[in-house]
Amino acid sequence: MRNLPPEILARFDDILKVRNVSLFYRPAYRKWVRYFWDFQAKYPLPGERSVQVRMFSEKLRSKGQAAGQVEQAADAVSLFFACQLKLQASSSTTRTGVVQQEAVQGDPERPREQNAVQPAPAKEACMIREPPGPPTYAERSERRKGRYDDWRCLKKSGYPAWDSIIAQLADEISTKHYSRKTLLHYANWSRKFQNYLSHKDPTQLSSQDVKSYLTYLAVRCKVSSSTQNLAFNALLFLYRHILKRDFGDHKDIPRAKKSTYVPVVLSRDEVQEVFARLGQPYQLIAKLQYGCGLRCFEAVKIRVKDFNFDTGLLTIKGKGGKSRTVPLPNRVVPELLAQLAFVKKLHADDLAAGYAGVFLEDQLEKKFPNAAREFQWQWFFPQESLTVIASSKEKRRYHVHDSRFQAAMYLAVRKAQLTKRVTSHTFRHSFATHLLQANYDIRTIQTLLGHADVRTTMIYTHCVPSKTIKEIKSPLDF
């Protein structure tokens, strides 16, 4: 792959700063520009830049790139064209000065009209879109339209009976207010089931079809037990709620034996090692995860109104819309107050700039029209840049996306050179385990974690060795 000239790369970095492209997206933008630079050298392209962008996008799609990646690449190429325009403008300015000097001196052998300075050509207009924002739940712009539609499992397959089944499945999941991930997995496994049966008529399906498919997954595909059980749950939902029939007593349906899972737990020193290598606001997010036992999505979706510094409590909206309160760690209260002051200043600047407010879930904005601009509804960890709604041209602010936090966590763990496989959820495991080591009862930990069943919390007892096990010595130590 050819390298970009240094002057073009430097100019492109300047344009990324001017256009307020987030630091998180800049490496990806540089990558797409390098790909396009190499693409220009390999293939003959027309002079029209819009056609070049379309051909480059079609090439990326043929390589299996996702729709969001193709769109990001198109934005990067449009910025690259703006970079070329600026370079051409600067070079033409230098050239114009030379021409003007020659014109002033004049050429005695040329007519006077030819010595006159010709007007410089007008700059070519270049429409540049703002970089795409993170995915939103409440309102999606046309540029990011169809986050659901981008999923291949929800697109039409050419079999109307099955397409109708999948549409009913999506409606049923939305009616029950299940998460988007549930919709993705259930629709995906239903499509795989359809392909396995060679698009058999849905009215002719039976429990024997499910049995043969799950056997095929376990024997031929050698999937894990969790994958096999996920497929079973998806097909069970499909039969019960969409096809309106049941498996019966499920005795003939193979179920995978659930493997024993022992969570990865960090020591207190290892937790501090990771904290020391995280920048803000990711360090504060990680401290809340470890100090309050939060899930990743719970930590990034905290709003200003969720804090009660008088009583030292934090209200969390967890899985399934279930809320709980957890005590705030006293050690991070000064950092939380500093973050609150930052959010207050950012909110004041946003209001002065005339932005439309934050994103609200469901129909909250219709119920409370002014809530999106009120301070208590602002995200406690706001996104750096504003997200533009293409349909209304409004600018709204989203919270820090969990993918950014996970990327920062990945780099911090690598820098700390830990031998354990650490993710953002490891802080939640460490929170529960360290409370057990401090002799807190299992029911208290269950309440703090928001588990519906105490058996889910009991898994952390495997992370704390009992005194009997500690007293046993290995034969190597005899």
Catalytic residues: 295, 319, 425, 428, 451, 460
Whether omega for the bond prior to residue 281 falls within 30 degrees of 0, making it cis, is yes
Count of other CB atoms within 10 angstroms of residue 222: 9
**Pairwise CA distance, residues 449 & 428, whole Å:** 8
Angle 411-416-421 from CA coordinates, rounded to 5°: 75
* Cβ pair 426, 177 in contact under 8 A: no
